[in-house]
A and B are shown apart, each in its own frame.
Chain A
């Protein structure tokens, strides 16, 4: 059992939790992930680590309550425990070589939560860090203050223009590149379609671009191969070969397709989970 030390509702659907996991907090580096299981009978869900505090012995995760397991996790309160929490899994991001170099870190939606520790690490080792954070709308903004204080330039953009610039992260990146900004590395973390769009944008510029692939997983240790994807024409396992990969080599079409392998079951699970939380008076679904 792993204890929830702290819980904060960041937006209507997004929750931050600090989980007691001293061994993981000691070892985890940016880019690595954990797998959690809320309860007996629960599924194993991978989540990239959003931060660690070795002194407190805690690991921070940020998640969106969009499926059965994340809804059940979000329903837990500080002081309660979850069944399982294992990690740090996967290879850490290779960030040290970029000390003193120019890096753009791009986060989309929940991906901002994973982009943040990367930006913070790079900023701390003395890289020049530009952050582009994209959200659907103003009410979904997370980690704005944190990112502002771990970047040289911070660009906020929303799909509907309700805060910051209106548009997509790629619009912002294109503008910066057109202005003549030079980057040694671009890190893009977010929905698969966003990462694909960034990859396509940077390809003609020939800028090294890295994406973090959040595939479906079961064990997360190389045992099942559920997380496989094609990178540079070869099959790779996101759990042990990644989760970071060269964005220009990833077969995104395949990755998007594979991410939808259980979409029917996920829909059914989500609907029955919502029924459990539906208010019998107003008919509304409670998210807290």
Chain B
């Protein structure tokens, strides 16, 4: 797929991958073997009819291809960009045994982009069944749940704490990986289905779950996400210029700090930046830092390249854009002068025996400490579920680490009429897993209300 050149794109926030042309999409679509047992579909958390839509692309019927995807996936343009296809649908593609698997994600993106650019008619709004459902959080889990319920005829209201809908799709994933106008276009599609989105409303504070039931909602889905950043608890973490990845990305993506002073939210970047962590969020933060004009941006990760939790594609993109990888390295202290970051002490690590996660455990090497000079440190070492709802809703049972306890099959919580899914349940995971949960919950809610 064509991309912006690395030394051009690392100075702008425009999308990196440019997408297939029609010719490229058709050529790729023709590679699909249409296997009988369709291993790709069973690997998709939202069960997209993959060979079905690919066939439509091959015959040039792009709108039909989109409709096939959209019938089970509420956010195709988003999934086509941020799903880890290489570990899901594409991982079982028979083409992949000998050569490259069919580029399912890129084809999905092509169909979705074609639809957004060319489709004129909004889908007909489903006839209402008179039942009302509230969704808490407008990230991928909440939007999927809302979309599926709306398609079944439910009147759905989505409550969002921020001033715009989209959750992590807006505040977390950067513009150059997922353009925000595209996220808003997908959300507009849900509005056309009759989904009402209410921003600036913090459930647990502005309104309680009980308030929602009292105002006539028959069921509630919680998709409030993983909104509580972790820190390492090492000295110096509260110095100025230590950001959580959440804060850094929110300032850059949601508040558009990269356009300051045209916008009003500032950010400081400095010349030398370290991002601690090895996941997709760390890659996003590092690539944003580079685009904000830092001379040197490094990833500091305690394991080796093989264990990096980020998608291979993101790691490759980061490397091409000039991000330095300091692997088998772990910070022990952030150093400062007069309250501002000046550097970080790190220790070299080696890999020992596998731990509970199956990855080899990093072990510090004796007397291997060394200092790095830095202006900015970004902590991207994960997040816990946001505590606001559980702190204000006693009946909602949660694990000690903060995740909401649910029935694994139905996603029902300890409260009657309340379901939960996505990062609020699992801790930080992927967009598509959250979407899968939203889908499952929509099914459960439908069964619950129809069975009443």
Interface residues of A (CB under 8 A from B): 23-24, 27, 37, 41-44, 68-69, 83-89, 218-219, 221-226, 228-230, 235, 240, 254, 257-258, 260-262, 265-266, 268-269, 272
Query: B268 and A24: CB pair below 8 A?
Result: no
Q: Tell me which residues across on chain A come within 8 A of B231, comparing CB atoms.
A: 225, 235
Min distance, Cβ A9 to any Cβ of chain B, angstroms: 23
The CA of A87 and the CA of B200, in the complex, are separated in Å by: 8
The CA of A262 and the CA of B386, in the complex, are separated in Å by: 27
Q: Kindly identify which residue among B206, B262, B339, B386 contacts A222, using a CB–CB cutoff of 8 Å.
A: B386
Encoded as 1 (CB less than 8 Å from any A CB) or 0, chain B from 238 to 275 comes to: 10110110110011000110011111111010000000
- CB neighbors of A among B170-219 (8 A): 171, 199-202, 205-207
Q: Tell me which residues across on chain B come within 8 A of A88, comparing CB atoms.
A: 205-206
Min distance, Cβ A78 to any Cβ of chain B, angstroms: 21
Query: B247 and A221: CB pair below 8 A?
Result: no
The 10 A-B pairs of least Cβ separation, nearest first, read A265-B266, A224-B247, A257-B339, A223-B227, A43-B264, A86-B200, A225-B244, A84-B163, A43-B265, A41-B263
Would A84 and B238 be within 8 Å (CB), given that A223-B386, A224-B229 are in contact? no
The CA of A222 and the CA of B226, in the complex, are separated in Å by: 10
Min distance, Cβ B240 to any Cβ of chain A, angstroms: 5
Would A265 and B163 be within 8 Å (CB), given that A43-B265, A88-B206, A258-B240 are in contact? no
Query: A44 and B388: CB pair below 8 A?
Result: no
The CA of A84 and the CA of B164, in the complex, are separated in Å by: 10
Min distance, Cβ A170 to any Cβ of chain B, angstroms: 25
The CA of A150 and the CA of B197, in the complex, are separated in Å by: 41
Chain B residue nearest to A38 (CB atoms) is B264
Q: Kindly identify which residue among B163, B238, B256 contacts A86, using a CB–CB cutoff of 8 Å.
A: B163
Q: Kindly identify which residue among A27, A228, A240, A269 contacts B264, using a CB–CB cutoff of 8 Å.
A: A269
The CA of A265 and the CA of B161, in the complex, are separated in Å by: 27
Query: A226 and B205: CB pair below 8 A?
Result: no
Query: A87 and B205: CB pair below 8 A?
Result: yes
Chain B residue nearest to A272 (CB atoms) is B261
Interface residues of B (CB under 8 A from A): 161-163, 171, 199-202, 205-207, 227-229, 231, 233, 237-238, 240-241, 243-244, 246-247, 250-251, 255-256, 259-266, 268, 339, 386-388, 391
Query: B255 and A44: CB pair below 8 A?
Result: yes
Query: B205 and A262: CB pair below 8 A?
Result: no
Min distance, Cβ A126 to any Cβ of chain B, angstroms: 27
Main DSSP-derived SS at the A contact region: mixed
| Sample of 16 more A-B contacts, CB < 8 Å, known A84-B200, A86-B161, A86-B206 | A23-B206, A27-B207, A41-B256, A41-B263, A42-B263, A43-B263, A43-B264, A85-B200, A86-B163, A89-B205, A218-B247, A219-B250, A222-B387, A225-B246, A235-B233, A272-B261
Query: A84 and B199: CB pair below 8 A?
Result: yes
27 contacts between A and B (CB under 8 A): A23-B206, A27-B206, A27-B207, A41-B259, A42-B264, A43-B263, A86-B161, A86-B200, A86-B201, A86-B206, A87-B205, A89-B205, A219-B227, A222-B386, A223-B171, A223-B228, A224-B247, A226-B247, A235-B238, A240-B388, A254-B238, A258-B339, A260-B240, A262-B266, A265-B260, A268-B261, A272-B261
Q: Tell me which residues across on chain A come within 8 A of B237, comparing CB atoms.
A: 235
Main DSSP-derived SS at the B contact region: loop
Query: B201 and A68: CB pair below 8 A?
Result: no
Min distance, Cβ B46 to any Cβ of chain A, angstroms: 26
The CA of A224 and the CA of B228, in the complex, are separated in Å by: 7
Would A261 and B268 be within 8 Å (CB), given that A44-B255, A219-B162 are in contact? yes
Query: B200 and A68: CB pair below 8 A?
Result: no
The CA of A268 and the CA of B266, in the complex, are separated in Å by: 11
The CA of A88 and the CA of B163, in the complex, are separated in Å by: 15
The CA of A41 and the CA of B206, in the complex, are separated in Å by: 24
Q: Tell me which residues across on chain B come within 8 A of A86, comparing CB atoms.
A: 161, 163, 200-202, 206
Min distance, Cβ A232 to any Cβ of chain B, angstroms: 14
Chain A residue nearest to B383 (CB atoms) is A223
Query: A89 and B202: CB pair below 8 A?
Result: yes
Query: B200 and A223: CB pair below 8 A?
Result: no
The CA of A265 and the CA of B265, in the complex, are separated in Å by: 9
Query: A230 and B238: CB pair below 8 A?
Result: yes
Q: Tell me which residues across on chain B come within 8 A of A89, comparing CB atoms.
A: 202, 205
Chain A residue nearest to B229 (CB atoms) is A225
Q: Tell me which residues across on chain A come within 8 A of B261, comparing CB atoms.
A: 265, 268-269, 272
Q: Tell me which residues across on chain B come within 8 A of A69, comparing CB atoms.
A: 264
The CA of A221 and the CA of B137, in the complex, are separated in Å by: 13
Query: A258 and B238: CB pair below 8 A?
Result: yes
The CA of A254 and the CA of B201, in the complex, are separated in Å by: 32
Q: Tell me which residues across on chain B come within 8 A of A221, comparing CB atoms.
A: 161, 202, 227, 386, 388
Q: Kindly identify which residue among B163, B206, B229 contacts A37, using a CB–CB cutoff of 8 Å.
A: B163
The CA of A68 and the CA of B259, in the complex, are separated in Å by: 16
